[in-house]
A and B are shown apart, each in its own frame.
Chain A
Amino acid sequence: MTETTNSYDMPDERGHFGPYGGLFIAETLIPAVEELDEAYQKYMTDPEFMAELDKDFQHYVGRPSPLYHAERWTRELGGAQIYLKREDLNHTGAHKINNTIGQILLAKRMGKKRIIAETGAGQHGVATATVCARLGLECVVYMGAVDVVRQKLNVYRMQLLGAKVVAVESGSKTLKDALNEAIRDWVTNVDTTFYIIGTAAGPAPYPAMVRDFQSIIGREAKQQCLAQAGKLPDALLACIGGGSNAIGLFYPFIDDADVRMIGVEAAGDGIETGRHSAPLCAGRPGILHGNRTYLMEGDDGEIIETHSISAGLDYPGVGPEHAWLKDIGRAEYVSITDDEAVEGFHALTKMEGIIPALESSHAMAYTLKLAPTMKQDEILIVNLSGRGDKDMHTMAEREGIKI
């Protein structure tokens, strides 16, 4: 008999992670997600598709990304051996392309000619515009008007790549509103359009599909850690907005019960101020954007405005699998304020000569707290999910420097 009780097998066939996930969308979109689910189920076990994906990962994205032993930072903090999973070295500068490469290959096989996406910091928008340019597909990216201003550089990058960037003026004008607008576009153009969702959230099969494409991060990290250190890591650390880089790192380790998994949410001005983006730490379960998950909401179920220094974490929900991993106690979720994230940003930049994205800086900031509490023979893998070039403007402004 095979022992299966301890092996993790979420989601169920209807996309549920316990009570989370699911298919909370308008009827018009049901045929679209059914078609997508069929393609996803078919191609994820198709050797030819997987070979093409591997080839693109290797030659276009630049995988495997290094697992870098940050020795100076390790010595400085005096605790765990810190290893950085260098997703910042991927083409386009973040982990986002692992997913867009996968979804665009699906779109191609499904014969879809028009691609839409939402973006917060612009990294997913850039990663989508990039793969569309490569395949010559029409690309429309929805971005909150507030984010368009704070991420000008990425807007220009998307435009250079041939994408049309639509500034969304409704609601809070940030990532959640970009998602609303992308969903409206999808409903209207459902026959021709493939929606590349950027994080491990949304209606089934997106949370599982995005996780599967991103789990290349964890598979590589596991192999690299075994090769370099001869054992599994003791803890994994990643920042969480929607949570795709975190689930990508965590997923291949879920059945390794001794490996701690820690997700870092954005506490913005501080959880106690209410101005944050930390639904797992301070929200409650609800339904938004196609899935049930932890949300930031008011008493009457209205979604409340979020805040984070990093546009990529500025979202009131989180991927449903994280909601489940929290409830079953398999992963821990903590939060880091804007100020602490800035500290993390400077720490990595000065100690290792690597400028992290403000999103990833949340994980760096928690490293400053966690590593010293761990033993020197323990291993901490931190996902460096993106590079900080896009944040030069935000950082300079914050520190009163004109560039």
Chain B
Amino acid sequence: MSRLASTFAEFKQSGHKALIPFITAGDPSREFTVPMMHAMVEAGADIIELGVPFSDPMADGPVIQRASERALAHKMSLRHTLEVVSEFRSSNQNTPVVLMGYANPIEAMGYENFAQAAENAGVDGVLTVDLPPEEASECATLLKAHNIDQIFLLAPNSNIDRIKKMDALGSGFLYYVSVKGVTGAGHLDTGDVKRKLTDIRANTQLPVGIGFGIKDAETAKVIANLGDAVVVGSALISKIEENLDSPEQAKQEITELLKSMRLAMDSQG
């Protein structure tokens, strides 16, 4: 069983909801990322999602676009992101790490090379925004052979057929994009999420993480009630952006926000 699968199996037993923070590797500097990952685990993160910087992040809103630009400015790449994971793994063997990014850096490295390097680094899941099931079977098969889960995104307008497709090809968990829009969008409707989750649950046994538009403890709590995991990204990266001259301050504000989310998610009985 993959690290993601066993993590979620354990949580299912205990009723624990996973908190998944997202930061972009190398933002604002390469040195910032690994200590930040450890700090997030301490603050209550169960799984870490690490953004792979890309020059053309088409599905991302301005906050994550700028994070990518900052990371690319000092030549952060997929190779370096894998090094970051490796370094994190040297002192944490339990917390699953999921890479989130776009297809081209993987394509440039070669799918087989990537799957091997990702396994060596200790990556547990890969979420590629522009690799829908139609184009993902080669990649998913290779990843599976290296014990890595291919995680798919589901959208508000994904129909039952598509949910079934992702269920068949994906593993680890499914990531439900709670709004039609880019990351960091501000119009999440929990009623809509609730209705959609009914459809999703009816068609997959995979755990469901929910993300896009979750900014505070209150929303995290509501969303945790609906899914198995809550993903928060832009709200954290905003803290980095607001404190570019003081990474320590950014780190502190991110941990505080995560702690408040953790507390809210755990307080629902």
Contacts and interface: CB of A to CB of B under 8 A. Distances in A.
B54 interface: yes
A380 to B, nearest CB: 37
Nearest to A290: B130
Interface in A79-135: none
Given A26-B153, A287-B104, A297-B104, A302 B134 contact: no
A168 B185 CA distance: 18
Interface in B61-100: 61-62, 65, 69, 72, 77-79
Contacts of A76: none
Size class of B's contact patch? 35 or more
A158 interface: no
A353 interface: no
Interface in B43-66: 53-62, 65
A31 B77 CA distance: 32
Contact of A188 (B104, B157, B162, B181): B181
B186 to A, nearest CB: 11
Interface stretch (B4-12, B105-113, B190-198, B244-252): B105-113
Interface of B is mostly: loop
Nearest to B187: A188
A188 B185 contact: yes
A23 B165 CA distance: 15
Interface string A1-37: 0000000000000100000001111111011000000
Nearest to A170: B65
Contacts of A301: 54, 77-78, 104-109
A387 interface: no
Nearest to B106: A301
B34 interface: no
A162 interface: no
Question: Which 6 pairs, one residue from A and one from B, show the smallest C-beta to C-beta distance?
Answer: A301-B108, A300-B77, A301-B105, A28-B155, A188-B181, A287-B103
Given A286-B104, A287-B130, A301-B107, 20 more contacts: A22-B134, A23-B132, A24-B131, A24-B132, A24-B135, A25-B132, A26-B130, A26-B155, A28-B156, A30-B158, A180-B56, A180-B58, A187-B182, A288-B56, A299-B108, A301-B77, A301-B105, A301-B108, A302-B53, A303-B55
